[in-house]
Amino acid sequence: MNLNGVNNFITINFNKFKMITDVELTKNGRNKNQLIIEINKNYETSIILDYDARLEDGILFLVDNNLKKINKNRLNSIESGILNLISINISQNLINKITKRKTYYISPPIPLIGHTAFGLIDRGTNIIQVRGLSGCNINCPFCSVDEGQYSKTRKNDYYVDLDYLVDEYKKIVEFKGNKHLEAHLDGQGEPSLYYPLPDLVQKLNEINSKGNGIVTMQSNGTKLSYKLIDELEEAGLHRINLSINALNEKMSRILSGSRDYNINHILDIAEYIKNSKIHLLIAPLLLPNINDEEFKKVIDYAVQLERKNPQNIINPITNKKNPIIGAQLCLTYQFGRRIKKMKVWNFKKFYELLKHYENEYKKNGIDVQLDTPLSKAFGNHRRKKLFSPFKLNEIVKAEVVLDGRVNNEVIGVAKDRVIQIINVNKNYEKIVGKIVKVRILRTKDNIFVGALV
């Protein structure tokens, strides 16, 4: 082929691959051609090319004169060799551009049930938690899972292949019965970072809507845009639980742990959602002794916004309107972060405060259902629960397949479940692919933790 007067011996069109969202050709430190491949917007990997090359509109042209002497069959094998190298690098050397952590691309045969960092969680209700990725773009100083770029404990991230996630979701739906189910996108990170999010929502909604169910998600709001909201609305998203912990610019930035956090963007997005077919639930978190006043201001803001832009979206599970506020209390967790000056409250004290606010609003003729538990307001109910293949303290044989989320952990697979294997004092590389004996220490909700025996 001759393009612009240059002989192109091999052409690879990256536009054909849905997961490749950008490609860049640069020189590395040794002046070799380096191809940087962006995967699903937030991840990247790279390969070194041993040939002269050019990149135009996502199409790679190898233009090296040495290729002239090579016969057609070998040229084809060079092309498939490059594609193989990319595929190996996606599975072994993928980096999360936001958290800068190594990321495992999860696809078959790694099961999606068993871990809290990725996959699907069934806690025996009508809600199925869908966790397409781990990793967050902000660094809240109270984060219960120590997420964000400056995390001291999180070592690896995970991203689940879209089709695989949906296929496995369908299996759980078949088991539980497709009636009044809620697919809830949450996780150890920011769900809106999942790409392509509208496709995921649409596919889940196609399933759930057949049984009068819904798809909902949590978000810190920072990555939401008008365009994304339009696409999510089109995809059938029912509700966004939007975290807002302070209205004051300085305080909200401190509570996000991120210099780029812009509360005005979040409020703008909140208003945009209010004008869409997606129900907006504002979810402020009370950090006692830290944001007490701001917490109340966020509740006032949510009430005013509802008065200005009332939404009348009916939840098909309850046949009622959803609440507009989902107030939460900040708790402390073993592996989470904590603000030193924060006081620890119990739920009794928290609900008393909410009751007090509720009564204040009632005096002004406003009913905000602040003290109604969200689970009740959303129509959560018990449903058939997935079978647990392991018993507590049972010793099982598991194959080590992935490095763990934190240091001294690996991920094992047995009986179609993943097991978080803790207290591993060996390098992951040394035991990957090996069968190990594990004592099961946790089985609740089909989330499995075990220790090497």
**Residue 147 CB, nearest approach to ligand SF4 (Å):** 4
Q: Using omega within 30 degrees of 0 as the cis cutoff, is the peptide bond preceding 196 cis?
A: yes
CA-based torsion, 59, 62, 68, 71: positive or negative? negative
d(CA 41, CA 343): 39
**Residue 239 CB, nearest approach to ligand SF4 (Å):** 17
**Residue 405 CB, nearest approach to ligand SF4 (Å):** 13
- The DSSP line for 283-335 is E-EE-TTTSHHHHHHHHHHHHHHHHHS---PEETTTTEEPPSB--EE----TT
Between the alpha carbon of residue 281 and those of residues 68, 134, 293, 299, 324, the distances in Å are 62, 23, 20, 11, 5
Asked whether 39 and 94 are in contact (CB, 8 A), the reply is yes
**Residue 78 CB, nearest approach to ligand SF4 (Å):** 43
d(CA 55, CA 117): 36
Whose Cβ is closer to ligand SF4: residue 137's or residue 202's?
Answer: 137
Whose Cβ is closer to ligand SF4: residue 45's or residue 220's?
Answer: 220
**Residue 27 CB, nearest approach to ligand SF4 (Å):** 36
Whose Cβ is closer to ligand SF4: residue 248's or residue 328's?
Answer: 328
**Residue 95 CB, nearest approach to ligand SF4 (Å):** 19
**Which backbone phi and psi does 87 adopt, to 5 degrees?**
-65, -40
**Residue 145 CB, nearest approach to ligand SF4 (Å):** 6
318: left (phi over 0), alpha (psi -120 to 50) or beta: alpha
d(CA 421, CA 281): 36
Centroid of chain to Cα 152: 19
Asked whether 131 and 160 are in contact (CB, 8 A), the reply is yes
Whose Cβ is closer to ligand SF4: residue 64's or residue 190's?
Answer: 190
**Residue 290 CB, nearest approach to ligand SF4 (Å):** 14
d(CA 45, CA 24): 11
Binding site for ligand SF4 (CB under 6 A): 136, 138-140, 143, 145, 147-148, 189-190, 220
**Residue 236 CB, nearest approach to ligand SF4 (Å):** 24
> 182: part of which helix (H) or strand (E)?
strand 182-185
**Residue 189 CB, nearest approach to ligand SF4 (Å):** 5
**Residue 43 CB, nearest approach to ligand SF4 (Å):** 18
Whose Cβ is closer to ligand SF4: residue 9's or residue 159's?
Answer: 159
Whose Cβ is closer to ligand SF4: residue 162's or residue 287's?
Answer: 287
Between the alpha carbon of residue 331 and those of residues 260, 266, 308, 352, 380, the distances in Å are 25, 24, 33, 17, 22
Between the alpha carbon of residue 450 and those of residues 151, 349, 385, 414, 440, the distances in Å are 24, 36, 21, 12, 4
Q: Choose among 130, 305, 326: nearest CA to 217.
A: 130
**Residue 156 CB, nearest approach to ligand SF4 (Å):** 16
Under DSSP, is residue 431 helix (H, G, I), strand (E, B) or coil? Answer: helix
Whose Cβ is closer to ligand SF4: residue 329's or residue 396's?
Answer: 329
Whose Cβ is closer to ligand SF4: residue 10's or residue 244's?
Answer: 244
Whose Cβ is closer to ligand SF4: residue 103's or residue 202's?
Answer: 103
Between the alpha carbon of residue 68 and those of residues 6, 51, 59, 150, 186, the distances in Å are 12, 12, 20, 49, 53
Whose Cβ is closer to ligand SF4: residue 175's or residue 333's?
Answer: 333
Structure tokens at 135: 């990793």
Whose Cβ is closer to ligand SF4: residue 189's or residue 284's?
Answer: 189
d(CA 147, CA 188): 7
Secondary structure percentages of the chain, helix, strand, coil, to 5: 30, 30, 40
Whose Cβ is closer to ligand SF4: residue 154's or residue 417's?
Answer: 154
